[in-house]
Each structure stands twice: as C-alpha cells, then as structure tokens.
Amino acid sequence: MSRNEFSQVPGYYRLLIGDIEVICVNDGSLSSDINAVTGVSPEECGKLFAESFFPEEPRCTTNVFIIRSQGRTALVDAGGGPHLDTTAGKLFENAAAAGVSPKDIDTILFTHIHPDHVSGLLDSAGGRVFPHVTIKMARSEQLFWLSDKPASKEVEHVKHEADHVIRFLTPYADQIEPFVDGEVFPGVTVVPLPGHTPGHTGYLIKSNDEELLIWGDVVHWPIVQFRRPDAAMSYDVDPIQAAATRRRILEEAASSGRLVAGMHLFFPGLTRIRRDGGAFAMVPYPWGHADAIRSLQGQETVTSS
C-alpha cells in the first residue's frame, strides 16, 4: 500500500461519565519544535524523547471534546479548522463520523483562546461555522485578548497571536458570555487553571459520583512535562504560574485517581496520573467497547444471534 492510499479510522472515542456522554475527537496534529520548551535544555528534551523512543521533532496532538448532557450538546474548544497545518483541522470530519455536526452544538466552552483552539470557528471563506451557539470563556480570558485595549498586544512573546485571536472571535462578539466560576453547562463546572493564559480554564464533569477533568493545555508534551513538571512552553503567558498550576493539578490527580482529559495528550486524550519519584507518569486508560461501557452503567446491551 502506498502512502497516498493509506487511511485511518475516524478519530473519536466515546465514554460515559455517569449520565453524561463525552466524545473525545481528534483534530489532528501540529508541527512543533523542541526549542518551544523552556526551563529544560534541548539536550535534556532530546534525551527524554529518546528514552521513550519518540522522534526528536514531534508533532503535537490536538484534541477537542464534545459533551452531551440533559439533551444539550457542548463543544470544548474548536480546533484549528482549515487555517493551520494541513495535518490539523480534522474536528468536523471526525465529529461527523461520531454523528455530530456543527448545527448540533448549542454551546462552545473555551479552555482558552489560542489559535489552535479557536481557528475552527471560521470556515475557509471566513464565515461563522457556529452562527447559533453561545460561547463561554473566563472573563479574564476575554479581557486579556478581546478588550478595547487588550493586554495580549503588550506581552512581547504573545502579541503575535493577538491579531489572529481577535480576527476569529470578533464575528462572535455578540455570542460571548464570560463567566467567573460556577456551573456553565449541565453537570460541568469551572476549574481555573491560570498561567498558560490568564483565563485558562478546566471543566470538571460530574455525574453519579463519576468525574472527568478536561484540563485544556496543562500539558503540551506529555513525554517531557510529566517527567519535568516545571518545564514550560514558550507560548505560556506566565510560565512560572503555568508550571505551578501544572504541578498542583498533577498532584491532585495523582492523589485522587481522577480521570483527566487534555487537548495535547495522545489521542484519545485520556489518562490517570501516578507519582513517579519526584515526578509523574501517565496511567493508560483502557479502551472500552460500547457494550461494555453500557453494561458498567447498568444499561441493557443488544446481542445478535
């Protein structure tokens, strides 16, 4: 089989958190650069990659998540659309395979509004993909990027992204509902995770004593940042705060056994965390057949003869 003939199964994975359905949807991958990591030398990064048998010039996985709760459907982040790498922007074809189209979405919850999270808002002609939705984000995130005189344009290592963010969010200005805290979708509450951006936000999904934390960009490169939690990224607005947030959330997840989901964790973006000396490691989340998941939830399964 030639490379031109090679294809992959659709990138989506379903799970149930109590009565709430979550669909992990892969948006593809983005080109990256080992020099994007700060606080750890390129040589040490290279060593960590080599120990994990991983290419030294990796591509960064990008995921989004769909939440179905009480008859409503939310999208957590919007991916890259047709505006970034050709290997990204796979959200819509993968979501379609899962039976979800843009018109089914009534709410978009943003973890933050970096380009790889908002560019799916506009189609290739610049039109709104979601003219009907309510968009929710932290008020501090809205103010940092979208105020009349946004602070993002004054931060040297961030300002190159500001115009992109403004261009993609301006058509939705009347649809944005900023929040400070609380429940923002049925069964979904806000978890502030500042540092990567001022309003970087996680979403805690809870139902029937089960829970999942969608933690956005707490981790970009799992091979590096679980082993070196203090390693930051060049696009962190406040790298010191981002590292402190990461270590705190990793500690909490390792103590509680909570399932977490991340936009840049290897698809399907799900893991538990364990301590590994003074650092951390991912605990693989086992793939579950839909019938097995329904059985665990006490639902009937349909058998064929």
The bridge status of strand 201-207 relative to strand 188-192 is: antiparallel
Phi-psi region of 121 (alpha: psi -120 to 50; beta: other; left: phi over 0): alpha
Q: Looking at beta carbons, which pairs linking 201-205 to residues 24 or more positions away fall under 8 Å?
A: 201/110, 201/111, 201/112, 201/137, 201/138, 201/141, 202/111, 202/249, 203/76, 203/109, 203/111, 205/17, 205/20, 205/22, 205/67
Residue-level pLDDT at 293: 56
Residue 225 has a pLDDT of 96
User: Three-state SS for 115?
Assistant: helix
Integer Cα distance of 22 and 65 in angstroms: 7
Check: CB of residue 20 under 8 Å from CB of residue 187: yes
Q: What is the pLDDT of residue 1?
A: 57
pLDDT at 305: 39
pLDDT along the chain (305 residues), means of 10: 72 95 95 85 88 80 97 97 88 96 98 96 96 98 96 90 95 97 98 98 97 97 94 94 97 97 96 95 83 54 44
Select from 38, 41, 79 the least CA-distant residue to 61: 79
- Given this model, what pLDDT does residue 303 score? 45
The pLDDT value recorded for residue 56 is 66
Q: Which two tokens stand for residue 303?
A: 């058998």
Residue 130: the pLDDT is 98
- For residue 55, the model assigns a pLDDT of 75
The reported pLDDT for the residue numbered 292 is: 56
pLDDT at 280: 97
pTM over cut 0.85: yes
167 three-state secondary structure: helix
Cα distances (angstroms) measured from residue 245 to each of 61, 218, 294? 21, 8, 35
Residue 49, pLDDT score: 86
> End-to-end distance of the chain based on CA atoms, in angstroms?
35
Residues 6+ apart with CB under 8 A from 179: 136, 137, 138, 139, 190
